[in-house]
Chain A
Amino acid sequence: MQKILLQIARVGTISEPAPAVDESLRQIAGRLNDHVLRFLGRALAIRHVDAGSCNGCELEIHAGNSPYYNLEGLGIKFVASPRHADLLLVTGPVSRNMAEALRRTYDATPDPKLVVAIGDCGCTGGIFGESYASCGRVANVIPVDVAVPGCPPSPAAILQGILTAVSTGGRSVARGW
């Protein structure tokens, strides 16, 4: 126990500030109203779905959970079921073998919900494209609010995409409820 405490004290706090929102990543504007976004932005539950990636994007989502990126400090939490989620984080070109599972996951996520597509494959189908086995980009299967390019996108870029999805774009929102 002493060694663990010593190590924790020695390393200290290494978390870095969150990236700024980038509205150019948004695919559909105004899908959710600003009131909802403000609520989601304070405590966001994310369900990750790998719809057929090479697993590179998963590495960066894992890396986003490292202490360098203070996800929980930003109110972001990964949850085990789509029924608990506000936002789906989808990686990969959607393989045809996963298309049905992705649709069902989307349907199981309660409204209001957001979808962020991760990586070049999620954005465009990437190097795998569309074929007998691949449906291509995520937006070919479910609606996508924000798409984050990169092969794979860095944890900061993924975080930026998530924060963009729940951003009201700087618009002020009336309080009182």
Chain B
Amino acid sequence: MKPSLAGLPFAPIAGAVPAWRAPVDERAWRAAFEQAKLAGGRLGALWASDDRDRHGGFTVSALLALHEGLACIELGLAAGSTKYPDVSNLFACAGRMQRSAFDLLGVRAVGPSGEPPDARPWLRHGAWSEREFPLRRDFDSASGTPPGRDDYAFVRVEGEGVHEIPVGPVHAGTIEPGHFRFSIVGEKLLRLEERLGYKHKGIEKRFESLSLEDGARLAGRVSGDSTVAYAWAYAMALEGASGTQPDARALMLRALLLERERVANHLGDLGYIGNDCALSFGFAQFWRLKEDVLRANERHFGHRYLMDRIIPGGVACDVDAAAAQALTDDAIRLKEELRTLRRIYYDHTGLQDRCITTGRLAPATAARLGVVGLAARASGHAMDARAYPGFAPYDVLKPKVISHRNGDVAARVVVRFEEAFESLRLQRMILKNLPAGALRVPLPAMDDPAFGIGWVEGWRGEVLVALECGRDGCVRRCHPHDPSWQNWPALEHAVIGNIVPDFPLINKSFNLSYAGADL
């Protein structure tokens, strides 16, 4: 089955997920997005590359998530050209991705008038000049670039009694840095505008100085809370590009690690949601349980967050019979504990009063914004890359996709509880039926250019990795894509009409990654 985008010369991309790529021209670029939109597809990721050494110009690429799988379309710009057609009026989430592509490579998405829909920078603050583009191959990363101007124009809300609250980048708690500009009347939120990019530390440029093998370590540090999902997505991309098939045991162990990451994060979020509702009992209880999971990770896998346990070709850990028994016992115990706490959360009037109808992201808004992952599932969209396309070994495990229609904080609490239960069930299934086999198969020497795609459903949502291998086993271009790109704009919508003191609760219920989207 090929993608249902007519007239494009799709060629399959080898690997664990159904994916194709096709070169397009400017007209076909827009047309592909229009067709994808009509077919109910989503925009997975959009990025640009410096391919002047190959075809004389830059390349803009996009991953479209369709029913059939991922379609990677690549628009090679003519030498000297830095403009391509804007698609943010078709897929709203493209806006920030296009602005980032400009900041890093100097290629501009323009509408029919020839003007960009939003010319403000996104990742570039004052750290480098507006005339320099760090991901161009002739940019010298070591040179201390003179700082550029940093005057960001926020949208101003006017009217009687409207005032602004600027928050961040340094927040009041242990939170990643970002700036939130609230426009309010009394207690009521009229508008939230996010300004992110504070954590931009040049990850994509860094990739290009690493070998394919070392890139795995960096991929695992794009967003620390999703290190397993990133390491797997990177490994999947590299394995596809190199024609490597990991063993069944390694794949099952990867799923075990991914589910342990999911449970640990859901426990932490459930604790903090209790905390933000002034139920500190919930924080203490869930963080006790999370700490138990982390300590078991350290004991059985050698790292509390399972960093660097997934490596290209397989895994760097194993589970023997005694460990399998201990982990199974843990899972059963945790299920019982979770049942007790779920009862308490659901019966707690104060907590429910804070969560129900708060921070509502309506299903239609979620669809329009291209929201993914847990937030999408809590707003009526039952998408989950583990179930569809169902990459191995989830094709065998057949996870149940949890969803809810209300889209409020309470719905995101329910989805977290139910996903944690499902995840524990999957863990027990994996531990009971661990196939024998190699932990790691060696990767062949990679001397020629190749391309691979990784697509993994992490706890927050889908993590995508597009990996272009250069000559001599080096990374030519790697774009790791966090679900937070799509979901941050949804937070701006979910808070409208809520009161300011509910913002931390709503924000926590999404718990998006700053690091993952700032790169």
**Residues on A close to B: CB < 8 A?**
3-4, 7-8, 11, 14, 48-63, 65-68, 78, 80-82, 92-93, 95-98, 100-101, 105, 126-134, 151-152, 154
Chain A residues contacting B268 (CB-CB under 8 Å) are 59, 62
Is B12 an interface position by the 8 A CB rule? Answer: no
B334-358 at interface with A (beta carbon < 8 Å): 340-341, 343-344, 347
Closest to A100 in B: B126
Docked pose: A98 CA to B225 CA in angstroms: 21
Are A95 and B200 in contact, with the CB atoms below 8 A? yes
Are A53 and B224 in contact, with the CB atoms below 8 A? yes
- Given A11-B288, A132-B143, do A98 and B281 touch, yes or no (CB 8 Å)? no
Chain B residues contacting A80 (CB-CB under 8 Å) are 172-173
Minimum CB–CB distance for B236 against chain A, Å: 20
Is B284 an interface position by the 8 A CB rule? Answer: yes
Closest to A105 in B: B170
Report the number of A-B residue pairs with Cβ-Cβ less than 8 Å: 163
Selected contact of A97 from candidates B126, B206, B285, CB within 8 Å: B126
Closest to B140 in A: A132
Are A78 and B174 in contact, with the CB atoms below 8 A? yes
Are A52 and B198 in contact, with the CB atoms below 8 A? yes
- Given A54-B223, A62-B268, A152-B224, do A131 and B198 touch, yes or no (CB 8 Å)? no
Are B174 and A48 in contact, with the CB atoms below 8 A? yes
Docked pose: A51 CA to B198 CA in angstroms: 8
Minimum CB–CB distance for B301 against chain A, Å: 15
Closest to B222 in A: A54
Docked pose: A8 CA to B175 CA in angstroms: 28
Is B471 an interface position by the 8 A CB rule? Answer: no
Are A129 and B513 in contact, with the CB atoms below 8 A? no
Are B205 and A132 in contact, with the CB atoms below 8 A? yes
Are B514 and A55 in contact, with the CB atoms below 8 A? yes
> In the complex, given contacts A52-B201, A54-B224, A96-B126, what are 8 additional A-B residue pairs having Cβ atoms less than 8 angstroms apart?
A7-B340, A58-B175, A62-B174, A62-B272, A93-B201, A98-B198, A128-B206, A133-B201
Closest 10 CB pairs of A and B: A56-B224, A96-B127, A133-B202, A66-B287, A80-B172, A54-B224, A134-B201, A54-B221, A131-B202, A97-B125
Is B47 an interface position by the 8 A CB rule? Answer: no
Q: How large is the interface on B (under 10, 10 to 19, 20 to 34, 35 or more residues)?
A: 35 or more
Is B35 an interface position by the 8 A CB rule? Answer: no
Chain B positions 191 through 206: 1 when the CB is less than 8 Å from some CB of chain A, otherwise 0: 0000001111111011
Closest to A126 in B: B221
Chain A residues contacting B202 (CB-CB under 8 Å) are 128, 131-134
Are A63 and B201 in contact, with the CB atoms below 8 A? no
Are A59 and B199 in contact, with the CB atoms below 8 A? no
- Could you write out 24 A-B pairs with CB less than 8 Å apart? A7-B341, A7-B344, A50-B177, A50-B199, A52-B198, A54-B221, A55-B515, A67-B287, A68-B291, A78-B174, A92-B199, A95-B201, A97-B125, A98-B198, A100-B126, A101-B169, A101-B170, A131-B142, A131-B201, A132-B134, A132-B143, A133-B200, A133-B201, A133-B202
Are A132 and B128 in contact, with the CB atoms below 8 A? yes
Closest to A62 in B: B174
Are A3 and B127 in contact, with the CB atoms below 8 A? no
Are A63 and B291 in contact, with the CB atoms below 8 A? yes
Chain B residues contacting A49 (CB-CB under 8 Å) are 170, 177
